[in-house]
């Protein structure tokens, strides 16, 4: 039931209040926001909310609220197959080929991923691929399915990241959304500056949370969020690099000096004992293919190990005492060693100490 206060009595609505006014569940309202049916904007007094004018417009539409609910309704494999009049096995094959885009997923009691699709997208499939609903699938498609192809997770990630990319005007936020689909190791290679990585981490969109943090369900949901094929990693890496170039021209990351170059790594961060010193702030990143199911990133560096940012660094093996930095009132370890040596090896000091330690036995005989 709608709340007592009508939309005309308030200019802005919270998400919960907007869901009640539109007679939607919380998950349905989130889907409506992602589909662009309901816009969430910045309130004049701070925070985010739904303008009251939108609530009035949607409530005034013919067929409210049934039509609005139908536009955000999701279906599983069994219900989707019933809509198309095909078997669940054929529906699953069409989804694995990427012809249907999942918009939501949950885990069943066996911790298996259960995908859900927009009912509107399922009803639209006969108009685009009607030849695949009957008869045998083409041989190339059957060969890809036999090789284990499953594009459902990749299609879901593309749908998930489309929302922040479409609605944000900040290139840093767009880069953070793309980085959220890559593993931390891949982001470290693509974004070598630690301050930029921290900034991207702070601005990344809220992750898809499923289950208690640290549980098996949460780990499965986290695995679905990360790109797992080399082709997808290459694509995301190219998009991330383009957004980062735009973001750096707009403004530098907090704590980072603006400029085309970033500082070279310190000697503590470099490997100077016979290993290559590489300037990861300027290196070009290329992704190499490791198969459809795998995915990895390699960073070739053909420069000299001592050439970093146009400067010449000579790798030197550091001594723990001779090169340890000191502060006011502190003494190097090597200085302490030299002082001890000077005190114990002064001329005649050992003989005087031996004489001082002698004791005379009764009868005038000495012992040492």
pLDDT tens-place string over residues 22-46 = 999 999 999 999 999 998 888 888 8
Structure tokens at 283: 């290196």
pLDDT tens-place string over residues 258-283 = 555 443 333 233 333 333 333 333 33
Mean pLDDT for the chain overall: 74
| pLDDT over threshold 60, residue 55 | yes
| pLDDT over threshold 80, residue 15 | yes
The structure's pTM equals 0.65
**SS3 category, 57:** helix
DSSP for residue 286? B
Q: Which residue has the higher pLDDT, 153 or 324?
A: 153
Rounded to the nearest angstrom, the gap between the alpha carbon of residue 343 and the centroid of all alpha carbons in its chain is: 59
In contact, 126 and 133? CB cutoff 8 Å: yes
Q: Which of 79-93, 115-129, 251-265 has the lowest mean pLDDT?
A: 251-265
Closest CA to 190 of 145, 126, 242: 242
pLDDT tens-place string over residues 271-319 = 333 333 333 333 333 333 333 333 333 333 333 333 333 333 333 333 3
In contact, 277 and 270? CB cutoff 8 Å: yes
Give residue 60's pLDDT band: very low, low, confident or very high (50, 70, 90).
very high
Q: Which of 135-149, 216-230, 344-358 has the lowest mean pLDDT?
A: 344-358
DSSP for residue 255? T
Structure tokens at 285: 């990143």
Sort 296 into a burial class: Cβ within 10 Å, 0-12 / 13-18 / 19+.
Answer: middle
């Amino acid at each position: 039931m709608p709340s007592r206060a009508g939309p005309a009595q308030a200019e802005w609505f919270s998400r919960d209040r907007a869901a009640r006014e539109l007679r939607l569940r919380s998950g349905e309202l989130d889907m409506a926001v992602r589909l662009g049916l309901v816009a969430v904007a910045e309130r004049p007094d701070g925070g985010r909310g739904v303008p009251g004018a939108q609530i009035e417009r949607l409530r005034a539409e013919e067929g409210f609220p049934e039509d609005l609910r139908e536009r955000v309704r999701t279906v599983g494999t069994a219900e989707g197959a019933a809509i198309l009049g095909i078997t669940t096995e054929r529906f699953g094959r069409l989804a694995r080929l990427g012809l249907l885009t999942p918009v939501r997923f949950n885990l069943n009691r066996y911790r298996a991923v259960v995908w859900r699709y927009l009912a509107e997208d399922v009803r639209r499939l006969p108009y685009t691929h009607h030849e695949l609903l009957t008869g045998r699938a083409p041989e190339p498609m059957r060969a890809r399915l036999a090789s284990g192809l499953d594009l459902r997770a990749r299609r879901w990630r593309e749908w998930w990241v489309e929302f922040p990319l479409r609605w944000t005007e900040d290139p840093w936020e767009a880069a953070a959304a793309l980085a959220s689909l890559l593993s931390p190791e891949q982001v470290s290679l693509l974004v070598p500056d630690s301050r930029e990585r921290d900034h991207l981490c702070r601005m990344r969109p809220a992750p898809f949370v499923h289950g208690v943090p640290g549980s098996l369900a949460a780990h499965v949901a986290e695995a679905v969020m990360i790109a797992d094929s080399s082709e997808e990693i290459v694509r995301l890496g190219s998009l991330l690099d383009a957004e980062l170039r735009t973001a750096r021209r707009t403004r530098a990351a907090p704590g980072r000096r603006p400029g085309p170059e970033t500082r070279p790594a310190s000697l503590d961060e470099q490997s100077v004992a016979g290993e290559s010193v590489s300037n990861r702030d300027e290196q070009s990143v290329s992704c190499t293919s490791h198969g459809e199911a795998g995915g990895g990133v390699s960073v070739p560096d053909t420069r000299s190990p001592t050439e970093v940012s146009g400067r010449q660094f000579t790798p030197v093996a550091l001594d723990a005492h001779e090169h340890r930095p000191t502060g006011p009132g502190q003494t190097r370890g090597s200085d302490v060693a030299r002082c001890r040596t000077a005190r114990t090896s002064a001329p005649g000091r050992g003989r005087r100490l031996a004489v001082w330690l002698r004791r005379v036995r009764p009868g005038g005989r000495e012992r040492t």
